[in-house]
Amino acid sequence: MAQIDIPLSGRRAQDVPVQHLDTNYLNVSKGLLSWFLTLDHKRIGVMYLLGITGAFALGGLAALGFRLELFRPGMQYMTHEQYNQFFTVHGAVMVFLFIIPGIPAALGNMVLPLMLGAKDVAFPRLNLGSFYLWMIGAFFFLWTLIGGGLDTGWTFYTPYSSTLSSTAVIQATAGAFVLGFSSIFTGLNFIVTIHKMRPPGMTWHKLPLFLWGMYATAVIQVLATPVLGITLLMLIMERALGIGIFDPANGGDPVLFQHFFWFYSHPAVYIMILPAMAIVSELIATFSRKHIFGYKMIAYSSVSIALLSFLVWGHHMFVSGQSALSGVIFSAITFTIAIPSAIKVFNWLATIYRGSVSLETPMLYALEFIWLFTIGGLTGLFLSVMSTDVVLHDTYFVVAHFHYVMVGGTLFAFLGGLHYWWPKMIGRMYDEGLSRLASITAFIGFNLAFFPQFIMGSKGMPRRYADYKPDFTLYHQLSTIGTLVLGAGILMIVYTLVKSIFSGKKAPANPWGGATMEWECPSPPPHFNFEHPPHASDPYDMERVKWDEQVGGWVPVPGYQSRVHH
């Protein structure tokens, strides 16, 4: 059934791996039902990708809406209530529907089993169930939008959310609750898959770093998300029945809600960034054609970040009224997370050192990531130091900081991963020049949008303000212009990728020279991924593959013996 459509010019077929298959996972069965009832991790990944792209568009449009409102002081075309709903929708949709499922559910589903040389995840039905829970959660959010909106901020702080807000808080909370289960199921699936389905030869220390990152993420998803579920359920009960746990009017404690909320939502920050770091480790190694530097340190730093992430939630609450002693402890532990993050950046730099660097689009994203994540991470120092956090807390400085990490970090890494695995996913190459231009446009727009926010924030501009005093006009205007440029960059990216589906040239099995196993199956892969389970070796031994002009891609070196020193 396998049809090889490359010129062989005299070589025997078994010397060259199969590059393309006429029958692959995308067309092995037809009809909508074959997608909606599929158990194939790749198809589920594609459906997730479509879903989160829709969520991203919604969240992005909301952001565009309120950034335009903020172009001038005074209210231009929104009321205060509308502004509050726009920033809430932006935050809630981006966090719960896009960024948390983003890399694990869309790219992770696509790539994780391929990287293990496996046919699928451990529990394919649970995987499909997790996607449907995501859909149900998304419908709850749509219901929220139609049925009264939401103006609590994505943090749902009580007692505003439990008592004062007249918007559809219960629908939104129920949506986030359901999405939490979607996330737990994905995490469970990945933990079991990585434990039980590694191929012969893949010891823990030969696990690709993407999988280490996904593993650490999954641990957080499974352990932290239930706390969010309980908290949101209690919030629903508080709002509907007035049980008196969070609302002081009924004898409750609003700060308790913040503890519960951040006990999940701080680890959730690492659900967002760990997969991003994991992608960047893959990209840097592949495009430097060099063994990743400090493999064990990177792997262990992911796990240590995951574990430490459970112990730092109180740094969101230095001025909440929690005791100074709690503040000191949380501040101190927070700094311990700075170290593994710094180590990763140094390791990536050391990987590029004496490498053979090629600046294809995914690598461009990885380099942009390092630059933006460095700024995002270092500005985090101001916020983990107690005295400087007091003045910066809840200002635009915080907004800028977490956008540098969540957008500059996670979104850029996501786009890097998307461009890296796109040929594998779709079987087509995109226009390299255009996609590089799009990447640089988004990068410039991003910096213009968010760097001025650091300055106005440290000058005192509070976040979540529908209107502001003229002192801050300049910074807001730069920020809005930056948002428009960023939006243009994103549109270019979408255009480039969509265009490649229709007119891109066929992708080889291994277009970039990656040494991990997903590059050993054809692009796009067949339904069951591999005809013969591949044998695992060092995932960063780049000399295992060499460029083949005839194939137009990278192929394994026959009879290769590893020269890598460990």
Partner 1 sequence: MTAMLTNLFQVAVLALAPFAAPAPGSVLGAHSIELSSVARLPQEGTAGEAAASGAEGATAPGAATTQAAPADGLAPDRVGPHVPEHADEIRDGTFWMPVAASDVARDVDATFNFIMWINYVFTALILVLLVVFVVKYRRRPGVVADQSITHNTPIEIIWSVLPTILVAVIFWQGYVTFLDLKTAPKETLKIRVSAYTWGWNFTYPDGTMVPQKLAVPQGQPVEFIMNSKDTLHSMHLPAFRQKQDVLPDRYTKIWFPTDRIGNYRIYCTEYCGKDHSNMYASLQILPQAEFDKWWEVNSNPRNDADGNALPDLAYGEKLYSYFACNSCHTVDGGKNTGPSFLVTSGNWGKMRPINGGEAMVDEDYVRRSILNPQSQIAEGFGPQMPVFNYLDDEQIYCLTLFIKSLAKN
Contacts of partner 1 in 428-457 (CB under 8 A)? 455
Peptide bond before residue 524 is cis, with ω within 30 degrees of 0: yes
If one counts every other C-beta atom within 10 angstroms of the C-beta of residue 12, the result is 7
Pattern 219-258, partner 1, x by CB under 8 A: -----------------------------xx----xx---
Q: Which of residues 60-79 bind partner 1 (CB under 8 A)?
A: 73-75
- CB closer to partner 1 out of 37 and 557: 557
Only segment of 191-199, 207-215, 413-421, 557-565 that touches partner 1 (CB under 8 A): 557-565
Contact (Cβ atoms closer than 8 angstroms) between residue 257 and residue 235: yes
**DSSP per-residue string spanning 248-275:** GGGT--HHHHHHHHHHHHHHHHHHHHHH
- CB closer to partner 1 out of 126 and 467: 467
Left (φ > 0), alpha (ψ -120 to 50) or beta: where does 24 sit?
A: beta
Contact (Cβ atoms closer than 8 angstroms) between residue 39 and residue 128: yes
Nearest-approach distance from CB 438 to partner 1, in angstroms:
19
Q: Which of residues 35-64 bind partner 1 (CB under 8 A)?
A: none
- CB closer to partner 1 out of 401 and 428: 401
Instruction: Pick the binder of partner 1 from 65, 159, 522, 526 (CB under 8 A).
Output: 159
Q: Which of residues 329-348 bind partner 1 (CB under 8 A)?
A: 331-332, 335, 338-339, 342-343, 345-346
Nearest-approach distance from CB 371 to partner 1, in angstroms:
6
CA distances 425 to 10, 74, 335, 421, 521, Å, are: 30, 47, 39, 6, 11
CA–CA gap between residue 263 and residue 267 (Å, rounded): 7
Nearest-approach distance from CB 386 to partner 1, in angstroms:
4
Q: Which of residues 517-546 bind partner 1 (CB under 8 A)?
A: 540-543
Radius of gyration of the chain (CA): 24
Instruction: Pick the binder of partner 1 from 53, 458, 477, 537 (CB under 8 A).
Output: 458
Q: Which of residues 269-328 bind partner 1 (CB under 8 A)?
A: 288-297, 318-321, 323-325, 327-328
Q: What's CA 491's distance to the chain center, in Å? A: 19
Q: Which of residues 467-486 bind partner 1 (CB under 8 A)?
A: 467-471
Q: Which of residues 483-512 bind partner 1 (CB under 8 A)?
A: none
- CB closer to partner 1 out of 39 and 332: 332
Nearest-approach distance from CB 388 to partner 1, in angstroms:
5
- Could you tell me the two tokens for 479? 């920020």
Instruction: Pick the binder of partner 1 from 460, 494, 499, 533 (CB under 8 A).
Output: 460
CA–CA gap between residue 414 and residue 372 (Å, rounded): 14
Q: Which of residues 164-203 bind partner 1 (CB under 8 A)?
A: 164-166
- CB closer to partner 1 out of 455 and 491: 455
- CB closer to partner 1 out of 10 and 559: 559
| DSSP type of residue 468 | -
Nearest-approach distance from CB 432 to partner 1, in angstroms:
14
Nearest-approach distance from CB 335 to partner 1, in angstroms:
4
In degrees, rounded to 5, the angle at the alpha carbon of residue 80 between the alpha carbons of residues 78 and 86 is 70
| DSSP type of residue 565 | -
- 3-state SS, 370-414, equals HHHHHHHHHHHHHHHCHHHHHHHCCEHHHHHHHHHHHHHHHHHHH
If one counts every other C-beta atom within 10 angstroms of the C-beta of residue 513, the result is 20
Exposure letters 356-365 (e unless 16+ CB within 10 A, then b): eeeebbbbbb
Contact (Cβ atoms closer than 8 angstroms) between residue 370 and residue 334: no
Q: What's CA 363's distance to the chain center, in Å? A: 17
Nearest-approach distance from CB 405 to partner 1, in angstroms:
14
In sequence order, the β-bridge partners of residue 484 are none
- Could you tell me the two tokens for 50? 């479509």
Nearest-approach distance from CB 476 to partner 1, in angstroms:
12
Only segment of 111-119, 233-241, 460-468, 526-534 that touches partner 1 (CB under 8 A): 460-468
Q: Which of residues 96-155 bind partner 1 (CB under 8 A)?
A: 151, 153
Is 157 a residue that touches partner 1 (CB under 8 A)? yes
- 3-state SS, 420-450, equals HHHHHHHCECCCHHHHHHHHHHHHHHHHHHH
DSSP reduced 3-state for 552:
coil
| DSSP type of residue 199 | P
Nearest-approach distance from CB 351 to partner 1, in angstroms:
9
- CB closer to partner 1 out of 409 and 525: 409
Contact (Cβ atoms closer than 8 angstroms) between residue 209 and residue 295: yes
Instruction: Pick the binder of partner 1 from 3, 9, 387, 503 (CB under 8 A).
Output: 387
> The dihedral of CA 484, 485, 486, 492: what is its sign?
positive
Pattern 392-431, partner 1, x by CB under 8 A: -xxx------------------------------------
User: Binding residues for partner 1, how many (CB under 8 A)?
Assistant: 99
Nearest-approach distance from CB 356 to partner 1, in angstroms:
4
Nearest-approach distance from CB 339 to partner 1, in angstroms:
6
- CB closer to partner 1 out of 43 and 315: 315
| DSSP type of residue 167 | S
Residue type present at position 532 = H
